[in-house]
Chain A
Amino acid sequence: MIVELGHFALCVALIAALVQSVVPLMAIWRGSASGLRVADSAAQVQFAGVAAAFAALTYAFVVSDFSVLTVALNSHSAKPMLYKVTGVWANHEGSMLLWVLMLALFGVMISVFGKVIPVELRSRVLAVQAMIGVGFYLFILLTSNPFERVAMPPLDGQGMNPLLQDPGVAFHPPLLYLGYVGFSTAFSFAVAALMAGRVDPAWARWMRPWVLLAWSGLTAGIALGSWWAYYELGWGGFWFWDPVENASFMPWLIGTALLHSAIVVEKRNAFLKWTILLAILTFSLSLIGTFLVRSGILTSVHAFATDPERGVFILLLLTIAIGGALMLFAWRANELDDGGVFALLSREIGLLTNNLLVVAATGVVFVGTMYPLALELVTGDKITVGAPYFNQTFLPIFGLAMLAAGIGPFLSWKRANKRDVLRRTGWSAGAAALFTVAVAAVIGVPGPAGVFGVFVAAFLAVATLQDLGRRIGIPAAPVGTVLRRLAGLPRSAWGLYFGHLGLAIAAAGVVAVSLWSAESIQTVKPGEPVSIGRYEFTLMDITNTQGPNYQTSIAAVRVSRGEDPVTVLFPERRWYPVEQKPTTEAGIETRWHGDLYAVLGDPDGTGGFVTRFYYNPGIPWMWAGALLMSLAALISLADRRLRVGVPADRRRANLQPAE
């Protein structure tokens, strides 16, 4: 009965979404305040319904109810409990349910925490949000119903892709969806503004927290996915420019632009149309990502099912949502008046430059991702657009964007002091160049691209730190003043510094691992040492043992440097009998400067094993940098002025002495 009640709850959620999308708009037209409020109550019912449905599906997975088709196809009674629970969203139907759960979660958060947003705007936003929801609920109920039953349940399920049987599956999809789906709020705000024909700085302020939350989740989700691929796939790489990766990267890039342009709207009442367009495009790219991953156009670990019917349905949703929003934009955008006058050299222009660069970078990734698909559709030719394309097109543009991110904070709003900006830029560039030369001299940097990379990362870090220093009065002000200013910095400023520093650190990691990683693939017998850079890897012995639902061979690989033992790595090769699939688990030791990484391959039949050994410098910096960026968004979100309850806090804030 629980399963069927879950199914019913999902139906309730769809009906609530319909109510939420129709009643408030009618109420605006007829001027009924009660009707506007229905947007809130319907959002709450919608969330309760989809949460109950999700809980029921989770129950079915936990108790291995194989009369539910999704459970029978994707679970197995011998799986550890963690993977029974995470298995809920590690399949097509369940992950779509997670998608709408996130959507409803954002809706209910807007209805509960967004009381400060004027009721008309809020009900418009919730109505648009619910329209997206209606589309996806229909998609789920009509083409991918997670509650489909089988009359004669099998004795056991078919298991779960072993690659997904990893703690990473507990965090990567929910965080990624937090991002993907969170951008729907930006979309809803944008469409609501177009419908109302009015945008003001308050609009940007109300929208920005949701975008920050989504962006933070997406950043962490992408980083986790990359980390997962890094240790689970055992290729020693972390980013493969795979279309599925790009599908999550494009919303991130353009979401980054949105985050910045919304600041201009809030501070300067400028770039209104541009910001609305970015909001629409960001969520559109999320939808395109969902389409690419879910339609079965791409075959990958993410494409749980390939079913043309589903692809067509999502394509239809995509067309209605994106097409409708863009048409609305074309129709209504002219009625929005951009305010704010600014000079050519100003923070506004800096942010615009950055926006354009990031959007160009997104375009490059978009072309690289979609061109092979379009070509295959038109001519039937299969081509792969791989790393060389992206390295040659995306990286230079993104490098420029990073340079601009370093200079941007030097610019003041409206009109910047040209001499001051040039002086500070020169100073930062000089320091970064010095650092680059030092690195080239000590370690050696192959090629001009490498030099550029080192310089860009160093420049962004130096410029960010320099701006922070200057803001708190270094070197002129006395120590006490410096500390007081440091403590008094608004959280949005910390968001800026942590975010940019995080980017610099992550970039440094990427540059380091691209320039100086050392790897070696060979067949070795236990006891034969292999030299990787300054390290020596020796395969010691192999132990065969049993996991909860797999057999595994664990190798001990001793790493030493000269005479000194460094560590022992334990790469594994697992075999999952239920799914009849092997997986590799890389043995990784993380040091501050990089990772020691070993992968165990097949035995060669004469006592040797195929092994891959790597030294990957900078990898930990990448994760740390991404984490810092994700954290920075949350810090910024905690800024008093951005908190959704701003005006309520105002009176108290005024009583405090100014910081």
Chain B
Amino acid sequence: MEFWLIVTGLAAVSGLWMAWPYLRSRSVEMTGSDGAISIYRDQIDELERDRRAGQISDSECEAARVEIERRALVAARRLDSGFVSSQRSLLSAAGLVIVAGAAAVALYSSTGTPQQQDMPLAARKTEELIRRADAGDINSRIQLLIQQTQEEPESFEAWWVLARSYAAIGDHASSADAYRHAAELAGDRPAVLSAYAEAMTLANGNKVPSAARVIFEQLAIENADPRARYYAALAKAQAQDFQGAIEDWALLARDSNPQAPWMPLVERDIINMARFLKVDVTAYLPNASAEQIAAASNTPETDENTPTLAALEASLEADPKDYKGWIALAEARSAAGDAEGATAALDEGRAHFAAAPFVLDQFAQTERALGLDLVESGLRGPSDEDIAAAAELSQTERDDMIAGMVAGLAARLEAEPNDPDGWVMLVRSYATLGEMDKAQDAYRQASATFKDDAQVLQAIRSQTSGLVTGN
């Protein structure tokens, strides 16, 4: 509607502008002109100038002047006729406005698409992002939130939601940055500050940076914020003040409702720390269960199924591609109070599985469960360098790394066997490495896994045909 109003307005203005001469008061126009005469005057001026400059002689000048005057006389004869008068003619004006305006609108109606809006790319991008975000795509949601913070950089809400969304996808560095903006806008709100400091800590590989530590300690004192208290204690532990850390955690545990969401984490850390310090866990966790006490005790486990340390080390020497072996070794060493040995075991395991994310993840979980991340070891941190180094590896080293990747794949399939493509890849990889027994074995396992699904079986069979027997 608005569009048609504008169109009609424009048509009317255009029509009126064109019809303007009909609306002016009466005037007389000369249609002939002294144009030609003025040219002859110019020519005579020019002659005069040339004569004075000495470029033509007097006689030449005179002859030319006569010629020009003769022509001027001819031209003057035409001046007589040639007046037209104009007069106001509302009828003509109205006719012109209506006919022209209607014609323009009609022409547009037949060629245009009036219902279609402008669709600049920027607007459509938002549209598209909203659609995807509504369908549950968190990355699109984040894009939208970024746009929102650009449009309203003073909005605490926008930064806060963005920061939480980053945290949800594990991008703690971006999350910390967004929390920083939120914290600046929120003033001293403790919840915001502690979330900011936590994000900084997570972005720093769960090591509390000094800036975050200041925030946590201040919040712990002023507001008794449980998160701040937990991280302040963690910071103490990471600064080698183990006793202080376990005491602070114990206080936090005592002050907290046993059902509080942070309690499992606090209890786990108390248990690990008690084991590490070789102290009685009940002193810090009065309600500790028998299981927890056992986990925190120094006594090595006597379960007969658990292989001895020496046996584990020997078997790993023979076959380093056993990630469960490395985890078992780390657990055994940690249980024996050898935290550094446990860390070393996991690091060595990482070296063998540098290109297998699933296994690395398992190692990281083990590390955290054992509380090894509380202890600074300087030698930690896998993969990026390892992968970069892989580019410069010798052939044997490269083979070794590939073997590690394959072993990682095998490990993952053992944990999550419902992955036909993964099995096919595993069979092919073993075949490529020349380990036909293992290929055969993997094929058998895959067949067993999918024995109820003929279609998948057929697919695996056809994609591995010629590599293994039995299909």
Contact = CB atoms under 8 A, between A and B. Distances in A.
B117 A658 contact: no
Contacts of A646: 38, 42
A519 interface: no
Contacts of B96: 19, 23, 38
Interface in A1-35: 1-5, 7-9, 11-12, 14-16, 18-19, 23, 31-35
B35 A12 contact: no
A15 B100 contact: yes
B255 interface: no
A16 B100 contact: yes
B319 interface: no
A38 B21 contact: yes
Given A45-B14, A471-B55, A145 B111 contact: yes
B35 A49 contact: no
B33 interface: yes
Nearest to B34: A647
A266 B43 CA distance: 10
Contact of A38 (B18, B35, B40): B18
Nearest to B42: A641
Contact of A33 (B11, B84, B108): B84
A8 B100 contact: no
A65 B119 contact: yes
A32 B84 contact: yes
Given A34-B86, A120-B31, A658-B49, A12 B119 contact: no
A363 interface: no
A49 B18 CA distance: 12
Given A141-B111, A206-B35, A658-B49, A5 B6 contact: yes
Given A11-B108, A11-B111, A36 B84 contact: yes
Which of A11, A145, A200, A202 has most B Cβ within 10 Å?
A11
Contact of B119 (A23, A67, A659): A67
Interface string B53-84: 11110000000100100010011001000101
Interface stretch (B120-128, B263-271, B394-402): B120-128
A118 B18 contact: no
A267 B71 CA distance: 11
B56 to A, nearest CB: 8
B11 A658 contact: no
Interface string B91-104: 01000100010011
A153 interface: yes
Contacts of B36: 200-202
A187 interface: no
B188 interface: no
B71 A269 contact: yes
A9 B10 CA distance: 8
Contact of B7 (A5, A18, A44, A67): A5
A324 interface: no
A1 B28 CA distance: 44
B38 A31 contact: no
A48 B10 CA distance: 11
Q: In the complex, which range does the number of interface residues on chain B fall in?
A: 35 or more
Contacts of A485: 53
A647 B34 CA distance: 9
Interface string A56-82: 000010011111000000000100000
A153 B49 contact: no
Interface string A463-488: 00000000101000000000001001
A34 B22 contact: yes
B136 interface: no
**Which of B34, B49, B100, B104 has most A Cβ within 10 Å?**
B104
B45 interface: yes
B412 to A, nearest CB: 35
Contacts of A5: 3, 6-7, 10
Interface in A79-133: 116-120
A422 B370 CA distance: 112
A34 B35 contact: no
B278 interface: no
Contacts of A267: 43
Interface size class of A (residues with CB under 8 A): 35 or more
A268 to B, nearest CB: 9
Nearest to A3: B118
Contacts of A23: 96
Question: SS class of chain B's interface: helix, strand, loop or mixed?
Answer: helix
B14 A12 contact: yes
A293 to B, nearest CB: 25
A33 B17 contact: no
Contacts of B378: none
Given A66-B119, A471-B55, A8 B31 contact: no
B89 interface: yes
A156 B125 CA distance: 11
Nearest to B116: A149
A147 B112 contact: yes
Contacts of B120: 63-65
A206 B86 CA distance: 25
Given A4-B113, A5-B7, A34-B87, A658 B121 contact: no
A88 B429 CA distance: 55
A205 interface: yes
B118 A65 contact: yes
B41 to A, nearest CB: 7
A145 B119 CA distance: 18
B121 A64 contact: yes
Contacts of A64: 120-122
Interface in B8-27: 10-11, 14, 17-22, 24, 27
B259 interface: no
Contacts of B45: 658
Interface in B187-223: none
A4 B33 contact: no
A8 B104 contact: yes
B35 A15 contact: no
Contact of B49 (A12, A269, A647, A659): A659
Interface string A394-421: 0000000000000000001010000000
B113 A647 contact: no
Interface in B217-253: none
Given A4-B3, A19-B18, A118-B31, A33 B85 contact: yes
Interface centre among A12, A36, A149, A200 (most CB of B within 10 A): A12
Contacts of A49: 14
A267 to B, nearest CB: 7
A468 B386 CA distance: 81
A462 interface: no
A11 B55 contact: no
B433 interface: no
A519 to B, nearest CB: 44
Contact of B104 (A3, A11, A40): A11
A63 to B, nearest CB: 4
A260 interface: no
Contacts of A16: 14, 18, 100
A200 B108 contact: no
A8 B10 contact: yes
A658 B49 CA distance: 6
15 contacts: A1-B3, A5-B3, A5-B6, A8-B108, A23-B96, A33-B85, A35-B92, A37-B29, A38-B19, A38-B21, A45-B14, A116-B35, A156-B121, A201-B36, A202-B36
Interface of A: 1-5, 7-9, 11-12, 14-16, 18-19, 23, 31-38, 40-42, 44-45, 48-49, 60, 63-67, 77, 116-120, 141, 145, 147, 149, 151, 153, 155-156, 198, 200-202, 205-206, 266-267, 269, 339, 412, 414, 471, 473, 485, 488, 641, 646-647, 650, 658-659
Given A7-B108, A36-B31, A118-B30, 9 more contacts: A2-B118, A15-B104, A36-B29, A42-B18, A118-B32, A156-B121, A200-B35, A650-B38, A650-B41
Instruction: List the 9 shortest-distance A-B pairs measured between CB atoms, nearest first.
Output: A37-B21, A202-B35, A33-B86, A63-B120, A64-B121, A67-B119, A118-B33, A34-B86, A120-B31
